[in-house]
Amino acid sequence: MAETADVPEPTLNSVMGHKWIFVGGKGGVGKTTCSSSLAVQLAVVRRNVLIISTDPAHNLSDAFQQKFTSAPSPVEGFDNLFAMEVDPTLETGALDGEGGGGFLTELAGSIPGIDEAMSFAEVMRQVQTMDYDCIVFDTAPTGHTLRLLQFPTTLEKGLAKLMSLRGTLGGALGQVSALLGIDLDAAQGELLGKLEELKRVVEEVNAQFRDPELTTFVCVCIPEFLSLYETERLVQELARFEIDASAIVINQVIFEEEVGDSGLLAARARMQQKYLAQFDDLYEDFHLVRLPLLEEEVRGVPALRAFSQNLLQPYKPQPASRQSGGTPAAEVARLKARIRELEAQLSAA
The binding site for ATP consists of 26-33, 224, 251
Where does residue 118 rank: exposed (0-12), middle (13-18), buried (19+ CB within 10 A)?
Answer: buried
Query: Which residues belong to the active site?
Result: 55
Count of Cβ atoms closer than 10 Å to residue 43 Cβ: 21
Query: Per the annotation, where are the binding residues?
Result: 26-33, 224, 251
Q: Which pLDDT score is estimated for 349?
A: 59
Residues in CB range of 219: below 8 A, 6 or more apart: 24, 25, 231, 234, 235, 245, 247, 248, 249
What stretch of H or E contains 274?
helix 263-282
**CA 335 vs CA 142, 269, 297: distances in Å:** 36, 23, 17
The per-residue pLDDT for 173 is 53
pLDDT at res. 52: 92
Cα–Cα dist 149/116, whole Å: 11
**The predicted structure's pLDDT at residue 268:** 93
The pLDDT, as a whole number, for residue 170 is 54
Tens of pLDDT along the chain (349 residues) come to 344 557 899 999 999 999 999 999 888 899 999 999 999 999 999 999 999 998 777 789 999 999 999 889 999 999 999 999 987 554 444 454 444 445 445 555 555 656 666 667 767 777 877 889 999 999 877 666 677 777 777 777 776 776 676 556 555 555 555 555 555 566 666 767 777 777 777 778 778 888 999 999 999 999 999 999 999 999 998 998 889 999 999 999 999 988 888 888 899 999 999 999 999 999 999 999 999 999 889 999 999 999 999 999 999 988 765 444 455 566 666 677 777 777 776 776 5
DSSP state of 8: P
In angstroms, rounded to a whole number, what is the distance separating the alpha carbons of residues 195 and 71? 22
CB 151 within 8 A of CB 114: no
27 Cβ contact partners less than 8 Å away, ≥ 6 residues apart = 141
57: DSSP letter: S
Cβ atoms of residues 299 and 65 within 8 Å: yes
Question: pTM of this prediction?
Answer: 0.78
